[in-house]
C-alpha cells in the first residue's frame, strides 16, 4: 500500500504531539503531589489536550482520522477520570 509523502509528514507531526502529551502526562503526575500547582497544571493540561485533539483531526485525513479521534478521546477521558478521582 502506497502512502503519500504528505500523509507520512502528518503522521510524524501527530506522533510528535503524542510524545509531548505523554511527557506532559508524566509531569502532571509529578505535580499532583504539589497541591498549590495541581489545579493550574490540571486545567492547562486538559486545555492543551483539547487543542491537540482539534489540531490532529485537522491535520490527518482518511482512515487515520478515526484512529486519532479514538486514541485522543480515550486519553482525554482517562486524564479527566484521573483528576476526578
Total domains in the chain come to 1
- pTM of the prediction? 0.35
Q: Residue 68 falls within a domain, yes or no? A: yes
Q: What is the mean pLDDT of each run of 10 residues along the chain (85 residues)?
A: 66 71 66 59 70 64 57 66 61
Question: Which range marks the domain in which residue 57 is found?
Answer: 13-84
Q: How far is CA 34 from CA 30, 38, 55, 59, 79, in A?
A: 8, 6, 30, 35, 17
Q: What share of the chain is helix, strand, coil (3-state, %, to 5)?
A: 85, 0, 15
Domain membership of residue 2 (yes or no) is no
Amino acid at each position: 500500500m502506497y502512502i503519500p509523502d504528505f500523509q507520512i509528514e502528518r503522521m510524524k507531526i501527530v506522533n510528535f504531539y503524542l510524545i509531548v502529551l505523554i511527557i506532559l502526562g508524566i509531569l502532571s503526575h509529578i505535580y499532583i503531589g504539589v497541591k498549590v500547582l495541581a489545579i493550574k497544571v490540571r486545567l492547562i493540561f486538559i486545555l492543551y489536550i483539547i487543542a491537540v485533539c482539534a489540531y490532529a483531526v485537522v491535520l490527518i485525513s482518511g482512515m487515520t482520522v478515526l484512529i486519532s479521534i479514538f486514541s485522543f478521546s480515550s486519553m482525554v477521558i482517562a486524564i479527566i477520570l484521573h483528576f476526578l478521582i
